Amino acid sequence: MNIEHLAAFNLALLVALISPGPALLYALRTTLSSGRAAGVATGCGLATMAATWTLMALLGLDGVFRLFPWAYTVCKILGALYLIMVAWKTWRAAADPIETSAQPNARAFLGGLLINLANPKAVLFAAAVLVVIFPIGLSATQKAIIVGNHLIVEIVAYSSFALMLSTRSVSRQYLRAKPVLDRIAAAVLGTLGMRLILDR
């Protein structure tokens, strides 16, 4: 493994991060509704779980999922139900005003953790990317470097999103458009949850 491998891995991560999915939508909505600190905490939760999925892929969890399809199915259904629950709560509260009290950072972190935990397909994605980019026979130290690198890249990326989106002008614009934006986010999250259930 060399620096070119890590650079290619980081590029793949950044492309995945900016793609509109449940993690990005949840991070953006939390930042806009609860502020910069909650947005950063959410990003840290998302990053921690994403790096954990990469660790699981490096340890061969994707092989377990392929060997025992029922285990993957159970994880997938539980994750889908969680995404649908988040979508329903977001839709239902779309017209409610934003509470003045900020979301506790621990709760924001847990929310981010659970959003990425709800997508077991992430371990299959991680495994595919790892196989394509890195050579076989990685040492324990190299695997630790990959996981640590993944964690840092995601924390920096989500923290940057939170810093950019937490300005007063952006927050004001969000508050004006909150009902529409929340319902769009809820529809996307709900659709992703349903696709997770129906996807074979």
Q: With a cut of 70, say whether residue 120 has pLDDT above it.
A: no
Report CA 111 to chain centroid distance, whole Å. 10
CB distance 126 to 57 below 8 Å: yes
pLDDT at residue 33 in the model: 77
Q: How many other C-beta atoms can be found within 10 angstroms of the C-beta atom of residue 72? A: 19
Q: Is 2 left (phi over 0), alpha (psi -120 to 50) or beta?
A: beta
Mean pLDDT of 178-187: 78
Place of tokens 């329903």: 88
Please choose, from the candidates 61, 59, 50, the residue with its C-alpha nearest in 3D space to the C-alpha of residue 151. 50
Mean pLDDT of 141-160: 92
pLDDT at residue 89 in the model: 79
What is the average pLDDT score of the chain? 80
17-21, 92-96, 137-141, 177-181: which has the highest mean pLDDT? 137-141
CA–CA separation, 28 and 1 (whole Å): 34
Q: With a cut of 60, say whether residue 101 has pLDDT above it.
A: no
Phi, psi (rounded to 5 degrees) for 87: -60, -45
pLDDT band at 100 (very low <50, low <70, confident <90, very high): very low
Q: With a cut of 80, say whether residue 126 has pLDDT above it.
A: no
Close Cβ partners of 70 (under 8 Å, ≥ 6 residues apart): none
pLDDT at residue 186 in the model: 79
Q: With a cut of 80, say whether residue 160 has pLDDT above it.
A: yes
Please choose, from the candidates 159, 121, 150, 152, the residue with its C-alpha nearest in 3D space to the C-alpha of residue 30. 159
pLDDT band at 200 (very low <50, low <70, confident <90, very high): low
pLDDT band at 134 (very low <50, low <70, confident <90, very high): confident
Q: What angle do CA 19, 49, 193 make, to 5 degrees?
A: 55
Please choose, from the candidates 56, 31, 62, the residue with its C-alpha nearest in 3D space to the C-alpha of residue 45. 31
Q: pTM for the complete prediction?
A: 0.73
Q: With a cut of 90, say whether residue 118 has pLDDT above it.
A: no
Exposed (0-12), middle (13-18) or buried (19+): which is 63, by Cβ within 10 Å? exposed
pLDDT at residue 197 in the model: 75
Task: Give the tens place of pLDDT for each residue, 11-69.
Answer: 888 877 776 677 888 888 888 778 888 899 999 999 999 999 888 888 876 666 677 77
Q: What angle do CA 69, 73, 75 make, to 5 degrees?
A: 120
pLDDT at residue 62 in the model: 62
